[in-house]
Amino acid sequence: MKVHLTRRYMIAASHRLHNDKLSAADNREMYGKCNNPYGHGHNYAVEVTVGGELNQQTGMVCNLAELDECVRREVLERFDHQNLNTRPEFAEQVPTTENFAVVIYDILKREFRGTHLEKIRIEETANNSFEYCGPAKLP
């Protein structure tokens, strides 16, 4: 019996969408007001979904304390109350929420061994969300 668990964490962070390799005009056209020079911010809701066989003895699919500790140490400490543009993870790529989802997925895929990581979903605002389930398998 396979069960999925989704856990929600909040990250208050700022970012500016800007690609140094493009002209100012192209950046403005591409990113609109998200290209404002001093940045802006969001309360990102990050949902981590893990899945696996239900442990018959514990009745649980994942040790929640271990997941929380891993997310706190590897994700919240890096990004909460930070400016994403100043982080090394975004030195070579624009801190869009799409890229943010991939970055968090890759971190947790590497660091959290307890249960299979299924998906990262980020709500950027109440009307916008993004999901990443890892690299697609080859057919």
Could you list the active site residues? Answer: 34, 81, 124
Query: Which residue number, 8 or 113, has a Cβ lying nearer to a copy of itself?
Result: 8
| Alpha-carbon distances, residue 105 vs 18, 48, 57, 71, 102 (angstroms) | 22, 9, 29, 11, 5
Bridge partners (DSSP) listed for residue 13? 42, 82
Where in 82-121 is the site for a copy of itself (CB under 8 A)?
82-83, 85-86, 93-96, 98-99, 101-102
* CA of residue 29 relative to chain centroid, distance: 25
Beta strand ranges found along 16-106 (DSSP E): 40-53, 82-83
Where in 26-85 is the site for a copy of itself (CB under 8 A)?
30, 32-34, 36, 38-43, 54, 56-61, 64-65, 80-83, 85
Query: Which residue number, 30 or 74, has a Cβ lying nearer to a copy of itself?
Result: 30
Dihedral sign for Cα atoms in the order 64, 66, 67, 71: positive
User: Strand 2-15 vs strand 82-83: parallel, antiparallel, or unpaired?
Assistant: parallel
Counting residues that bind a copy of itself (by CB under 8 A) gives 63
Nearest to 6 by CA among 71, 57, 55: 71
- Cβ 111 to a copy of itself, closest distance in Å? 19
List residues near a copy of itself by CB under 8 A: 1-10, 12-15, 17, 19, 21-22, 30, 32-34, 36, 38-43, 54, 56-61, 64-65, 80-83, 85-86, 93-96, 98-99, 101-102, 125-133, 135-136
